[in-house]
Structure 1
Amino acid sequence: MSSSFVPVCRQDLAERGIGEVDFVFVSGDAYVDHASFAAALLCRLLESHGFTVGLLAQPDWKNVESFREFGRPKLGFFVSGGAMDSMVSNYTANNKPRSEDVYAHGGVAGHRPDRAVMAYCAAIRQAYKGVAVMIGGIEASLRRTSHYDYWSNTIRRSILLDSKADLLMYGMGEHSIIEIAEKLRAGVPVRQIRGVRGTVWYTSKAEEIPEGAIILPSFAEISGKDDESKRKFAESYLIQEQNTDAMNGNVLVEPVDSRFVVQERASLPLTTEEFDAVYELPFQRRWHPMYDSPAENGKTGVPALSEVQFSLTSCRGCFGACSFCAITFHQGRRIQSRSHESLVREAVQMTKDPEFKGYIHDVGGPSANFRKDACAYQKERGACQNKDCMGTNPCANVRVDHSEYVELLRKLRALPGVKKVFVRSGIRFDYLMMDEDRTFFRELVRHHISGQLKVAPEHVSNNVLRLMRKSTHEVYERFSAEYARINKEEGKKQYLVPYYICSHPGADLNDAIEVALYLKKTGFVPDQVQDFYPTPGSLSTCMYWTGLNPRKRNADGSFEKVYVPRGGHERRLQRALLQFNRRENAPLVKEALIAAGRRDLIKVLLGK
């Protein structure tokens, strides 16, 4: 269809003169040839190392012939569920089917199967007996060991076992996918690949367990619903979180039935030079032409591209380590940054795009203003295993410096053809407030906001914020006041849009009432409220399942107990309190206030 894109069909191979591919890459997303889409990035990376690749984007998992499009690959299949866990992509936090999929053609839902990695692997095994199958991406990464599965309300085994794949890659996959590909090219059988950082494999032989590995509680010990099983699950999660860093993490082994699931140490972070090189591969920065025709809903293209087409990814990783976020488990706490020169080159390329209107929509990553490691120790020793960088009590060793980020933004907005450079991805306002130099704060307000700044205080209750590993509410209030002051001094009318999460572990109705009263006082009631979503791989999900906080022990050594809002009704009550001004929420708000013994607030919140 187009020789400038990664091959998506036999015709593409014929045009390139390729008779047989080394790898077939299966993705749960439609194909967008942009560095922000992992399938495109990894396929381009494999091509740059001399491998031939065919990309199956959202294949029909019900038709085995879809997986025979390129024939049997010489070396194997790489399988990813896509940019999101397929269950998160297909269902809301209240387990309702989603009406659209922004990573699909035209945004049409239904082209990605539930538990996509398992569905794709089953089809591949049916298509080709004995072919090497390797899984990766967010769905595999966060399910690499036994995990709580919200949709079945059970503990499931490692997806490596359930998918019947040969090898799993976790975390960011550039290093591991190339090392694996080279080993396969050298003739190493896939089930004999060992010692590759960022991979998980299994064995039935105890003598194959690497020396010095940490043995996790077994699947049998953690999979029950009794208190002891949940305590063991929390213990297992804590060990895993303590060993996510490439510098100081250990090999982990989880006994599952008669087998042992072995997690190698995490991949080393990309160097700046490697990060630059990966993002400067020859991407077309477009969806594949096959999506130019209308989808079932009459729309063309892939909606997810609009968020990133004119944005710059400047960093990876996040030492904020919010409890509800799985970035710590997937990307890690170490910060990886691209060079100014690489980002400027990409921006210049962007300005030559006929669709570019002069606006760079974002320059950032998981946390836009994290461009360096949290402290001087991390580069040599890795992120601390038992100490948080941020949260309600930030570490005294955190070095706060926005000067390099300010310099980058100045270079970008000075480029010919650039009218405005926005920063929209995850400004950490707590980190910003730790900086005594207000240069970045002032330039952010003056140059980099489009009418409103979105930030994530998440809650008002300091106890809930502690469990979330977020800064205190007082920090947000100081930030909000200073934001208003600087805007006034700059002659700007730019609003602050805070995000809140309801029904997080630790939050009861009284905590939700506290948020409602604060919103009433400030005059801001959010249009959108995020219901806590217990996705695999997060500390908050561990707390949701177990009712325990493994990061804090009582005097007797037991884990701190945590209240957990369960059931759809209580979640609806908390959500209604955060949106108390909606007429349809009035009955729920009244019910919540009565249940909490706060009838005195009915008139305050409802005006009657």
Structure 2
Amino acid sequence: MKVEVIFSMRLITPSVILELSLPLPTNNFTVRYKISDWLPTTAKEVKERGWEELDVILFSGDAYIDHPSFGPAVIARIIEAEGLKVAVVPQPNWRDDLRDFKKLGVPRLFFGVTAGSMDSMVNHYTAGKRLRCDDAYTPGGKSGFRPDYASQVYSKILKKLYPDVPILLGGIEASLRRVTHYDYWSDKLMPGILATTKADMLVYGMGEMPLKEILRLLQKGVPFKSLTNIAQTAYLHTDGELTPDKNWKDLELSSHEECLHDKVKYARNFRHVEEESNRWQAARLIQPVGKAKIVINPPYPPMKSKELDASFDLPYTRLPHPKYNKKGTIPAFEMIKFSVNMHRGCFGGCSFCTISAHQGKFIASRSEKSILKEVRQITQMPDFKGYLSDLGGPSANMYKMQGKDLKICERCARPSCIFPNICSNLNTDHSAMTEIYQKVNKMHDIKKAFVGSGVRYDMLYNKLCSTKEQQSHKEYMKELITHHVSGRLKVAPEHTSSNVLKLMRKPDFKLFHKFKEDFDEINKANDLNQQIIPYFISSHPGSRIEDMASLAVETKELDFRLEQVQDFTPTPMTVATVIFYSGIHPYTLKDTFTAKTKTEKQNQRVFLFWYKPQYKKTIESLLKQNNQQALINKLFSNKKTRNVLCSNKEYIFFRKK
């Protein structure tokens, strides 16, 4: 007997029903979804719901994937949950007669604009500024469906067409470009994105809390232009003197024009922005630009589990919109569709990473109930074969961790909780993660739950922690390695040089040796043949030819032949990018070397592939120029190495929400 199961999340019954023809793995079911299970993307879909007017129209640089790992979907679902009518216009065509920007008319409240889940320039170009031939957030992985600087392009079009309708900017591109920032692709400083887009407001970071407050006030009839005191938002002030806010102290940054003429002032600005972004009791930042001022209100405190659960538990279909059914798979979705994100934020504050700038250094964790509920949902997906691809987060092993005394955290200004040492106030107990791993293992229809997120191994060697915490580290490591590795475990030492690692805010490489020893010991004890896959970066600020040569020697001695590597790409709002542009460290204001030219960067990169014959002469020549004969001898001795092969792909930081 064949049974039709219709998954519907709403009372509205449209006339159009799309059959996805996805048979459940253990039953003779045909799963059918109503088109209304997704938010509308066309005028026809809006009409099917019986809506005469939309409250919000959201423009996104990504294809519409109705899944909690994709910011545009989360924002749209929150707007819907607040009782408002919202539609999504994914990847609008900006090169024709602009019909995509006109087809849904004018929203009652505002336009939402996001470049998508990545900065559009990182999405488009390699570290060598070559145009990419693919886009992971587009059906078929095809490129060319979003413009460069997508937030600016979309906003300018909307302002020209509808000058009186407010625009609310969000997403990682807008968030990381909220003040004067260095743009690697144009090789110049750009003003805060509000100045170039003329958008009415920007929500930075993870936007659920400020968005809900904005919607609440608009529903009460508060004019959009009066929304100037909402936390975690920014706006362009153009009318006279700025009124002090009784709840926040003000910190004025050097103006954009001053930054253009003084790199030290630009670097100092960054330090203020980073420190205030990671405080619980932060200042309101003000940066003059031209005759206006960009005002950045302090962030919300870290979300509580109940608040985060509410975001993840919204009625997502967990699938791309049916409009893409015949256009090919969407690579970013395929990568995460069987994964579960347990928490947000990262203690690391790594110099090259934007996680702390966007998600913050404090961890916001979902409840166990919400996580297990999502796992059960995944097991019901028609093409699920029993394997979770990832049970993790931005960093795999930070779930449920926070300060022992939160009052200390509220006053803290450190950009990293674990560098240069693990904070004595940080509870690094891994028990909560181990328990969830074990509960998922026992669930029906789960054959194996892998941990695909990168593991911060330094968290497992906290010298200042209690005996209970130390025991939890050992139990977690054993559980992870014996039950949750897909044959290869990803870790990111990033470099081997102590000086470079300090600039990166990463632990000494000796700790990687310790972790590898423990990894190999657990594998041997359990008769497993698994590998560590280490990630490394070339051309990071502070890295010189001799540092890269030492890295090559170290990895040779460990029997690694690297493929998972990345050439440093300067992205807005990171310590490393500030150093790349200014030549000075924003915290010490000391001159810091950086490989900047194409030749300098290529000369560093070749050391990652020292084992390839075509690079031997180049490496020998570079080391001779630097009087490093000893390194030549170590690198090209006759000692045999064991191949440790990884897939030959460029390593890009695809961070989950």
Same-fold call, TM > 0.5? yes
The correspondence for 1:202, drawn from 236, 245, 251, is: 236
Shift of 1:99: 1.1
Describe the superposition over 1:415-442 as per-residue Cα deviations: whole angstroms up to 9, x where unpaired.
1111111111121111022252200101
Shift of 1:188: 2.7
Is the 2:236–2:293 contact (alpha carbons within 8 Å) kept by the matching residues of 1? yes
Describe the superposition over 1:384-409 as per-residue Cα deviations: whole angstroms up to 9, x where unpaired.
21463212433233322101111111
**Does 2:522 correspond to 1:486?**
yes
Indicate the residue corresponding to 1:73 in structure 2.
Answer: 107
The correspondence for 1:46, drawn from 79, 85, 108, is: 79
User: SS at 1:135's partner residue?
Assistant: strand
Shift of 1:202: 1.6
User: SS at 1:200's partner residue?
Assistant: strand
Indicate the residue corresponding to 1:408 in structure 2.
Answer: 436
Describe the superposition over 1:478-506 as per-residue Cα deviations: whole angstroms up to 9, x where unpaired.
11111111111111110011000111001
Is the 1:464–1:505 contact (alpha carbons within 8 Å) kept by the matching residues of 2? yes
Is the 1:391–1:471 contact (alpha carbons within 8 Å) kept by the matching residues of 2? yes
Indicate the residue corresponding to 1:384 in structure 2.
Answer: 412
How many equivalent residue pairs? 593
Measure the CA separation in 1 of the matches of 2:617 and 2:564: 19
Indicate the residue corresponding to 1:562 in structure 2.
Answer: 592
Describe the superposition over 1:183-209 as per-residue Cα deviations: whole angstroms up to 9, x where unpaired.
233333322211111100121245224
User: SS at 1:442's partner residue?
Assistant: helix
Shift of 1:269: 2.3
The correspondence for 2:214, drawn from 155, 180, 185, is: 180
Shift of 1:65: 1.4
Is the 2:57–2:110 contact (alpha carbons within 8 Å) kept by the matching residues of 1? yes
User: SS at 1:131's partner residue?
Assistant: coil
Measure the CA separation in 1 of the matches of 2:205 and 2:410: 16
Indicate the residue corresponding to 2:254 in structure 1.
Answer: 217
Measure the CA separation in 1 of the matches of 2:452 and 2:532: 12
User: SS at 2:585's partner residue?
Assistant: strand
Indicate the residue corresponding to 1:236 in structure 2.
Answer: 269
Describe the superposition over 1:441-481 as per-residue Cα deviations: whole angstroms up to 9, x where unpaired.
01111100010101000000011000100011111111111
The correspondence for 1:578, drawn from 600, 608, 612, is: 608
Classify 1:380/1:11 alpha carbon distance in 2 versus 1 (closer, same or farther; 3 Å). Answer: farther
User: SS at 1:517's partner residue?
Assistant: helix
Is the 2:400–2:432 contact (alpha carbons within 8 Å) kept by the matching residues of 1? no
**Does 2:198 correspond to 1:164?**
yes
The correspondence for 1:248, drawn from 270, 281, 298, is: 281
Measure the CA separation in 2 of the matches of 1:246 and 1:184: 28
**Does 2:60 correspond to 1:24?**
no
Measure the CA separation in 2 of the matches of 1:440 and 1:257: 54
Classify 1:367/1:102 alpha carbon distance in 2 versus 1 (closer, same or farther; 3 Å). Answer: same
Alignment of 1:451-470 (within 5 A): 451-470=487-506
Measure the CA separation in 2 of the matches of 1:410 and 1:23: 42
Indicate the residue corresponding to 2:425 in structure 1.
Answer: 397
Shift of 1:273: 0.9
Is the 1:179–1:196 contact (alpha carbons within 8 Å) kept by the matching residues of 2? yes
Is the 2:361–2:417 contact (alpha carbons within 8 Å) kept by the matching residues of 1? no
Once the two structures are overlaid, the 10-residue window that deviates more, 449-458 or 259-268, is: 259-268
Measure the CA separation in 1 of the matches of 2:631 and 2:273: 44
User: SS at 2:375's partner residue?
Assistant: helix
User: SS at 1:524's partner residue?
Assistant: coil
**Does 2:507 correspond to 1:507?**
no
Is the 2:534–2:564 contact (alpha carbons within 8 Å) kept by the matching residues of 1? no
Is the 1:248–1:381 contact (alpha carbons within 8 Å) kept by the matching residues of 2? no
Once the two structures are overlaid, the 10-residue window that deviates more, 490-499 or 177-186, is: 177-186
Is the 1:245–1:383 contact (alpha carbons within 8 Å) kept by the matching residues of 2? no
Shift of 1:213: 0.6
Is the 2:134–2:143 contact (alpha carbons within 8 Å) kept by the matching residues of 1? yes
Measure the CA separation in 2 of the matches of 1:601 and 1:319: 35
One-letter amino acid matched to 1:83:
S
Indicate the residue corresponding to 1:61 in structure 2.
Answer: 94
User: SS at 1:368's partner residue?
Assistant: coil
Shift of 1:127: 2.4
User: SS at 1:545's partner residue?
Assistant: helix
Indicate the residue corresponding to 1:516 in structure 2.
Answer: 552
Measure the CA separation in 1 of the matches of 2:453 and 2:407: 25
Shift of 1:326: 1.1
Q: What runs of 5+ residues in structure 1 fail to find an aligned partner?
A: 295-299, 553-558
One-letter amino acid matched to 1:573:
N
Measure the CA separation in 2 of the matches of 1:187 and 1:585: 66
Alignment RMSD (CA, Å)? 1.6
Indicate the residue corresponding to 1:333 in structure 2.
Answer: 361
Classify 1:184/1:587 alpha carbon distance in 2 versus 1 (closer, same or farther; 3 Å). Answer: farther
User: SS at 2:534's partner residue?
Assistant: strand
Indicate the residue corresponding to 2:619 in structure 1.
Answer: 589
Measure the CA separation in 2 of the matches of 1:321 and 1:387: 6
One-letter amino acid matched to 1:537:
M
Indicate the residue corresponding to 1:556 in structure 2.
Answer: none
Indicate the residue corresponding to 2:7 in structure 1.
Answer: none
One-letter amino acid matched to 2:258:
E
Describe the superposition over 1:38-57 as per-residue Cα deviations: whole angstroms up to 9, x where unpaired.
11111111101101011000
Measure the CA separation in 2 of the matches of 1:525 and 1:311: 29
User: SS at 1:39's partner residue?
Assistant: helix
Once the two structures are overlaid, the 10-residue window that deviates more, 272-281 or 494-503, is: 272-281
Measure the CA separation in 2 of the matches of 1:403 and 1:380: 23
Measure the CA separation in 1 of the matches of 2:211 and 2:416: 30
Measure the CA separation in 2 of the matches of 1:79 and 1:514: 46
Describe the superposition over 1:510-563 as per-residue Cα deviations: whole angstroms up to 9, x where unpaired.
1101101111211202113211111001111111112222223xxxxxx22211
Classify 1:347/1:170 alpha carbon distance in 2 versus 1 (closer, same or farther; 3 Å). Answer: same
Once the two structures are overlaid, the 10-residue window that deviates more, 431-440 or 275-284, is: 431-440
Measure the CA separation in 2 of the matches of 1:6 and 1:24: 11
Is the 1:321–1:328 contact (alpha carbons within 8 Å) kept by the matching residues of 2? yes
User: SS at 2:580's partner residue?
Assistant: helix
One-letter amino acid matched to 2:522:
I
Describe the superposition over 1:87-115 as per-residue Cα deviations: whole angstroms up to 9, x where unpaired.
00000111110110010111001101000
Q: TM-score, normalised by structure 2?
A: 0.88
The correspondence for 1:263, drawn from 281, 296, 299, is: 296
Measure the CA separation in 2 of the matches of 1:396 and 1:353: 43
Measure the CA separation in 1 of the matches of 2:624 and 2:91: 49
One-letter amino acid matched to 1:190:
F
**Does 2:138 correspond to 1:104?**
yes
Q: What runs of 5+ residues in structure 2 fail to find an aligned partner?
A: 1-15, 17-34, 463-468, 639-657
One-letter amino acid matched to 1:325:
C
One-letter amino acid matched to 1:105:
P
Indicate the residue corresponding to 2:581 in structure 1.
Answer: 545
One-letter amino acid matched to 1:565:
A
Is the 1:334–1:382 contact (alpha carbons within 8 Å) kept by the matching residues of 2? no
User: SS at 2:294's partner residue?
Assistant: strand
Classify 1:601/1:514 alpha carbon distance in 2 versus 1 (closer, same or farther; 3 Å). Answer: closer
Indicate the residue corresponding to 2:322 in structure 1.
Answer: 289
Shift of 1:301: 2.5
Indicate the residue corresponding to 1:419 in structure 2.
Answer: 447
Classify 1:386/1:350 alpha carbon distance in 2 versus 1 (closer, same or farther; 3 Å). Answer: closer
**Does 2:356 correspond to 1:320?**
no
Measure the CA separation in 2 of the matches of 1:206 and 1:72: 31
Measure the CA separation in 2 of the matches of 1:488 and 1:120: 55
One-letter amino acid matched to 2:614:
E
Describe the superposition over 1:136-187 as per-residue Cα deviations: whole angstroms up to 9, x where unpaired.
1000000001111111111110001101111111000101112222323333
**Does 2:449 correspond to 1:449?**
no
One-letter amino acid matched to 1:448:
H
Describe the superposition over 1:328-358 as per-residue Cα deviations: whole angstroms up to 9, x where unpaired.
1111111000111111111112111121111
